[in-house]
Amino acid sequence: MNILLVEDEPGLIVTLTDRLVSEGYEVTSASDGISGLETAASGNFDLILLDVMLPKKNGYDVARDLRQRGISTPILMLTAKGETIDKVLGLKLGADDYLTKPFEMIELLARVEVLLRRSQERPSHPNGEFRFGNIGVDFKRAEVTKDSSPLELSAMEFRLLQFFIENRGLVHSRDDLLDAVWGYDAMPTTRTVDVHIAWLRQKLEENPRHPQFIQTVHGMGYKFVV
């Protein structure tokens, strides 16, 4: 499991990283809100430990911006504040849990374990539907609409779109997409990925030359942004 720690206290970064690594987690850290937001948006993390009082951008704003981008990674907020209103604000902005400093390491580990287990059990689209821009996706019926009118997608285009939605905000290389969407046995070329993405952009984007949702990350691959 990969954990992102967004914390500006050097001593706490070392302490938490050492303990989490000893428990078998992989840990990446960021020391301010802006770098934390960008790292969370571009990486493949299973959980985010997010301090509230951060330089450049506070944890509340980071949590809000992540949720607005469609990133559903569980967030455990860490803060020295203990007022109920602060907890409510953090939860309303998208945090999944809240732990007040100082805390016992055993409690942090327990909360981490619970959030990770809950996220694995949670469906990516609990109602079977997802909307972005003027696009609607019905996963149960395998139907896509644009401005409420049906869009014709091939089975592979639909599978590619579904993968992007379920992993929105993360960067995927062409090889990753081949493995996840086509499978090893299909053995298409990486050019196949580019062609299918071009087709999806033609159908979904208002301006396929400057896509809003399926974006190219130069030198790395593609990511889906909402």
From CA 204, how far away is CA 199, in angstroms rounded?
A: 9
| Alpha-carbon torsion (28, 31, 37, 39), positive or negative | negative
Q: How far is CA 176 from the centre of its chain?
A: 16
Considering the entire predicted model, what is its pTM?
A: 0.56
Segment (H or E) for 87: helix 84-92
* pLDDT tens, position by position, 116-131: 877 665 545 545 788 8
pLDDT of residue 17: 95
Closest CA to 179 of 195, 168, 163: 163
Helix, strand and coil content of the chain, in percent to the nearest 5, comes to 40, 20, 35
Residue 37: pLDDT band (50, 70, 90) is: very high
Of 98-107, 114-123, 141-150, the range with the lowest mean pLDDT is 114-123
Residue 41: CB atoms within 10 Å:
21
In terms of Cβ atoms closer than 10 Å to its own Cβ (0-12, 13-18, 19+), residue 115 is buried
